[in-house]
Structure 1
Amino acid sequence: MIPSEEIQVNTINHLGLIAGIVDDIGLEQIINEILGCDNRELVTPGQVVKAIILNGLGFVSKPLYLFPQFFEDKATEHLLGKGVEAKHLNDDKIGRVMDKLYAKGLSSIFMLIALSVVKKHQISTSFSHLDSSSFSVHGQYLDIKAITDNQQNNVETEPIPIKITHGYSRDHRPDLKQFIIDLVVSEDGGMPLFLRAGDGNEQDRAVFGQVAKQYESMIDFETILVFDSAFFTANNLQLMSESKWLSRVPLSLKTAQKLVDSVDSKESNKSSIKGYSWKEVESNYGGIKQRWLVVESQKRKESDSKNLLK
């Protein structure tokens, strides 16, 4: 019988599953190859990133200097590797790794990891869907003008890569400042393929074309990019003139509105999906030759007619 004083109990909870997935995709090895390892380090950059992921999915929210506390009652060696202790995961170590990640480029690192998963699990990338979302934050967050003024007054401030400010809030918190995340996912399981952080007041229509071109420049496979109507501007169409893409045409365009109003149901083709019909027309909007597909739903048409009669 083992004496009770020699028994040490640590928790894993759901973190074992997350650690297993991280190991399966080889994230730790990829990070170590990108950032490099020093034989004198007790914890590798890959292990630090793995620890950050476990902490982020541990349903806690604490300052960075309290990071080691999260792992004090966890089976750290089992989750992160032999010899790794909670005290090794201090804010200095984490900060240095974060600085290296930023210097190398988070978008490119994310892409390398994603493509590794795509190849390993044979995920289809025939279609790539691009969209954005806003993330609200609490705090003052100096704007660019304030930072410039402080620098002129010799006040030390740390540079910020994006502008955290007020903008259109997807989570209905216009009172909070925010930043934007542009994300490309595959149609096969919604696998994240590309990530980019943007200013809080950034508009989709102003950047989607550039984001799509950046994504295309980093992949080694053919794909059809899918956008919502925010993409559909003359500038974006010209940027994507050599690419394959699919987007909804916004009815805010007079050309689109006139087309919808002029379509005769009798001239439309019946869809294989019951209750739908369609008509194909050519367009040269923005100086780019396109095929527009006008789709009509019989149920929607009947519903709209009833609303007009009320």
Structure 2
Amino acid sequence: LEADPRSRMPPAKALGVVLRNLIEQRRPLYALGEWVAERDPSVLGLADTSARLNDDCVGRALERLFDADRALLQTEMVVNAIRRFAIDCTEFHNDSTSITFSGDYAGANGDPQRGQATLKVNHGHNKDHRPDLKQLLWILTVSRTPDAGVRPR
């Protein structure tokens, strides 16, 4: 991802912190600096840059991600993971769930923004049994490779 000249931290490092936070604790963007301060920065891949992380830095990194060719980025990540971990691609398994939203989300209508495709948050068959709320469908695809997601039995 191309760096923002106002940012003193590469976007990939800031996004790595966001991803780790989502996996571990899901703190809001404004609290990421506090979350990082509670950890060894080297474990987060930050070393001496943790003091530069704030919500503005993360916001700029998220904007860079939005403006990037996300399809190409995702393809490169998947291909690299397949090669690095020797993932067997002869059989895949899918699991889906709905991510429920409350509120208007008027801008999440699927229309392009800044030349990029956007997601459409809409009503549908909600797996949480809440047809009154909007949703996105999230699909996880895993292989049968041991230790690469789940192991079907």
Using structure 1 for the length normalisation, give the TM-score: 0.40
Q: Structure 2 CA distance, aligned partners of 1:129 and 1:61?
A: 30
- 2:70 — aligned with what? 106
Summarize the alignment of residues 212-251 of structure 1 with structure 2, pairs less than 5 Å apart: none
Instruction: Give 1 or 2: higher strand fraction.
Output: 1
8 A Cα contact 1:143 1:165, kept in partner: no
Letter matched to residue 41 of structure 2:
T
Summarize the alignment of residues 125-204 of structure 1 with structure 2, pairs less than 5 Å apart: 125-130=89-94, 132-142=96-106, 161-189=118-146, 191=148
> Shift of residue 133 of structure 1?
2.7
Summarize the alignment of residues 251-270 of structure 1 with structure 2, pairs less than 5 Å apart: none
The higher relative CO (CA closer than 8 Å, separation ≥ 6) is in: 2
> Shift of residue 142 of structure 1?
1.9
> Shift of residue 46 of structure 1?
1.8
- 1:123 — aligned with what? 87
Larger radius of gyration: 1
Q: Give the direction of change, closer, same or farther, for the CA distance of 1:114–1:144 in structure 2 (3 Å limit).
A: closer
Secondary structure of the 2:100 match is: strand
8 A Cα contact 2:123 2:132, kept in partner: yes
Alignment match of 1:89 (pick from 45, 50, 53): 53
> Shift of residue 41 of structure 1?
5.0
Q: Give the direction of change, closer, same or farther, for the CA distance of 1:109–1:164 in structure 2 (3 Å limit).
A: same
8 A Cα contact 1:134 1:170, kept in partner: yes
8 A Cα contact 1:48 1:97, kept in partner: yes
- 2:8 — aligned with what? 42
**CA deviation digits over 1:53-98, x for unaligned, max 9?**
1211222343x2232221222222442232112x422222112211
Q: Structure 2 CA distance, aligned partners of 1:36 and 1:162?
A: 23
Please list every run of 5 or more consecutive structure 1 residues that lacks an aligned counterpart in the other structure: 1-34, 148-158, 193-310
Q: Structure 2 CA distance, aligned partners of 1:40 and 1:166?
A: 39
Letter matched to residue 133 of structure 2:
L
8 A Cα contact 1:77 1:84, kept in partner: no
Alignment length (residue pairs): 144
Q: Give the direction of change, closer, same or farther, for the CA distance of 1:161–1:58 in structure 2 (3 Å limit).
A: same
**CA deviation digits over 1:139-159, x for unaligned, max 9?**
3322678x9xxxxxxxxxxx9
- 2:19 — aligned with what? 53
**CA deviation digits over 1:191-213, x for unaligned, max 9?**
47xxxxxxxxxxxxxxxxxxxxx
Q: Give the direction of change, closer, same or farther, for the CA distance of 1:82–1:58 in structure 2 (3 Å limit).
A: same
**CA deviation digits over 1:202-225, x for unaligned, max 9?**
xxxxxxxxxxxxxxxxxxxxxxxx
Aligned CA RMSD, in angstroms, stands at: 3.1
Using structure 2 for the length normalisation, give the TM-score: 0.73
